[in-house]
Amino acid sequence: MSLVVDTIESGYDRAPILTGVSLRVDPGEMVAVVGSNGAGKSTLVRTISGLLAVRSGAITVDDVAITKLAPERRARRGVVMVPEGRKLFPQLTVGENIAMGRRAGRGRTSGEDPVDALLDTFTILRERWGQQASLLSGGEQQMVALVRAVAARPRYLLLDEPSLGLSPLKTLEVFQLIELVRERTGAGILLVEQMADQALAASDRAYVLEHGKVAMEGDAATLRASDEIRRAYLGVA
């Protein structure tokens, strides 16, 4: 039972970006994807979510093929993306944006609603419930985008650069929320992140993309400690 990407190729127009990429995300684990700009990280999550077509290879969710499904059908299968730049509805309120997540996903399931637990911990979202999303700070908008995704009841959550444009303090708060999402939902999380050190520190396993291919993979802590990764992505000489 996993999200499995099997030797996929995808890209834009006639130009391939990803070639032969394979990875796996198990329920309840956090998997980071790191790499330099242009390595294909965002292309990967856009392909898994269905925004880009798979030219070859396959994507399965819990042994069910989703390779040819449209994005909305993948969401109903439990594959939900938080896109780069949040992509909230700016004129809708916080509450209305989160409600959109409920409509897009798998609907109500049995058990505790994880959205309530997130709102109980990050009370600022309850305080902003009736405010338009356009009036929120970047960090608050990212939190709303995460909670909206949780409202869709994901089995697997795809996060595309959640720290983009945020201050170090807001980045810390967002990563705390991501960890709480994992605890409360049990979803597998694929984390594509420019801040490689934070991503590796938060994750169980990791993949390193270079030029659209998987260059390294393994235990996140081990990769974080390797001299090659430290020099290439963590700014350590």
DSSP state of 72: H
Residue pLDDT tens, the chain, 237 long: 899 999 999 999 888 999 999 999 999 999 999 999 899 999 999 999 999 999 999 999 999 999 999 999 999 999 999 998 878 999 999 999 999 988 876 655 555 788 998 999 889 999 999 999 999 999 999 999 999 999 999 999 999 999 998 999 999 999 999 999 999 999 999 999 989 999 999 999 999 999 999 999 999 999 999 988 988 887 665
> Which residue bears the tokens 């069910």?
64
Contacts of 138 (CB under 8 A, 6+ apart): 86, 165, 166, 170
Q: 109 is in which domain, residue-wise? A: 25-50+70-233
Return the CATH number at 37: 3.40.50.300
pTM: 0.92
**Three state DSSP letters for 152-205:** CCCCEEEEECCCCCCCHHHHHHHHHHHHHHHHHHCCEEEEECCCHHHHHHHCCE
Strand 3-12 and strand 188-192: pairing? unpaired
Q: Is residue 86 part of a domain?
A: yes
- Give the chain's domain count: 1
Asked if residue 160 lies in contact with residue 83, where contact means CB atoms within 8 angstroms, the answer is: yes
SS3 state at 116: helix
Q: Is residue 2 part of a domain?
A: no
Query: What angle is formed at CA 159 by the lines to CA 155 and CA 165, rounded to 5 degrees?
Result: 155
Alpha-carbon distance 72 to 74, whole Å? 5
Type of residue numbered 71:
P
